[in-house]
Amino acid sequence: MKPGHHHITVLGAGIVGVACALFLQRDGYRVTLIDRLGPGEGCSRGNAGILAAEHVMPLATPRNIRKVPGMLLDPHAPLHIRWRYLPRLLPWLWRFWLCARPHAVAASSQALAALQGGALTAYGTLLEQARAHQLVRTDGWLCVYESEKEFVADRIERELQRHYGIRVEELTVDEVRERLPAISRSIQRGVLYPDSAYTINPHRLVQVLAEDFQRHGGIMQRAAVNNIDVTPGQRVRILTDAGAHETDSVVLALGAWSGRLSARLGSPVPLDTERGYHVMLPRPGIDISLPVMFGDHKFIATPMEHGLRLAGTVEFAGLDAPPNYERARILITRARRLLPRLQVQGHSEWMGCRPSLPDSLPVIGRSPHYRNVYFAFGHQHLGLTLAAVTGRLIADQVAGRTSDIDLTPYRIDRFS
């Protein structure tokens, strides 16, 4: 597709949609971004902020599958399924189980590693253009363990990371304390990922990038998309609550809400949502110099410009069920034990919908049915990390450039 007057509309102004819009704009296209709320008001608003370039292990693994029954019976476990939602989730769980077979785990890891290889460099391009480097810190992050058993069990993941050339530093308890004096004496081990990064405000990051998009002539429209059609002349017609919108090409980047419209375009996908929670502590009363993941409990404490954020947990309950903030409060209880001097006064709570496919891979690429329809969604726990590289790959596809990454593993029809 030649730039010039070609008009591309990106649906969804989360971190993924904004990154797609920026890379398309850099190629010279006229770009419009449509969102029902505004930039970064969906899942991208409240994540843990980690640019987790070390993350190459999919969620569906034999070890995680073995943990599921125990977690289901424990309301305080990092994973929870609302019983009422279980019948609707069963087809997704079945596929998740299939994705835990060794060859499928190896394929997903390889595909994740390929994206991760370009993740931080692609961010560099966007941050430099927007002069937003101050929002991202490159100090790495730390995973700590109370139990030697969990630390040893996670060795498989560390071996996989080293296999892909990722730097992993195993720390003794004294080395952990040196970096995190506020941590509980129950912590026994640590692992440092020195080459990963984090943002001190994920919400502001999306907003700053969206402002940059507008500064360079991009149009931002606030409207809820209800339907979408490709006319015989290959124009795309988008029906919104603010009227019809016509465009030459469209990128569907609606995060967890992408499934209905992708099906409408002839490409149904097993997309569900892993809901996650955060608690924001404006005056934590302790100094945490870099993000810390509690490996036994699967949540993260990230130092942000407006306080300390505790984030994590997975809840399967669908897109429409009201939040259960009890899940967020579990994070406070756990964190108070692990960070004994933590202050939680004035805290706020948030819930976001991670867009998740059973194989832990996003959908990135062109529709098999329409040459001017592109998909960029389903980034599960890694949407912040992989947004920029996704934007770059979508721009390559639109421009007809050969990408350095083979897009076959991310195609939308891989489950059919």
Ligand X SMILES: Cc1cc2nc3c(=O)[nH]c(=O)nc-3n(C[C@H](O)[C@H](O)[C@H](O)COP(=O)(O)OP(=O)(O)OC[C@H]3O[C@@H](n4cnc5c(N)ncnc54)[C@H](O)[C@@H]3O)c2cc1C
Using rule CB under 6 A, residue 52 touches ligand X: yes
Walk across the sheet containing 363-366 and list its strands: 219-222, 30-35, 7-11, 249-252, 373-377, 363-366
Scanning 125-133, 145-153, 160-168, 372-380 for contacts with ligand X by CB under 6 A, the matching segment is 372-380
Tell me the site size for ligand X, rule CB under 6 A.
Answer: 42
* Calpha distance 316→88 (Å, rounded): 10
Beta bridge partners of 169: 192
> Which x/- pattern over 267-296 shows residues binding ligand X (rule: CB under 6 A)?
---------xxx------------------
Give the span between the Cα atoms of 144 and 295, in whole angstroms: 6
Q: Which is nearer to ligand X, 23 or 377 (CB)?
A: 377
Q: How far apart are CA 319 and CA 335, in angstroms?
A: 27
Q: Which of 6, 334, 381, 392 binds ligand X (CB under 6 A)?
A: 381
Query: 155: part of which helix (H) or strand (E)?
Result: helix 155-163
Applying CB under 6 A, the span of 71-79, 85-93, 316-324, 348-356 interacting with ligand X comes to 348-356
Smaller CB distance to ligand X: residue 17 or 218? 17
DSSP symbol at 37: S
Strands 79-81 and 197-199: unpaired
Contact pick of 6, 30, 36, 203 for ligand X (by CB under 6 A): 36
- Residue 406 is given by DSSP the state -
Chain centroid to CA 13: how far? Answer: 14
Contact status: 224 vs ligand X (CB under 6 A) = yes
250 counts as binding ligand X under rule CB under 6 A: no
According to the binding rule CB under 6 A, does residue 355 interact with ligand X?
yes
Q: How distant is the alpha carbon of residue 90 from its chain centre?
A: 23
The least distance separating ligand X from the CB of residue 165, rounded to whole angstroms, comes to 20
In three-state secondary structure terms, 297 is coil
Q: In terms of CB distance, is 278 or 392 closer to ligand X?
A: 278
Binding site for ligand X (CB under 6 A): 12-17, 34-37, 41-44, 47-50, 52, 224-225, 253-257, 276-278, 311-312, 352, 354-355, 377, 379-385
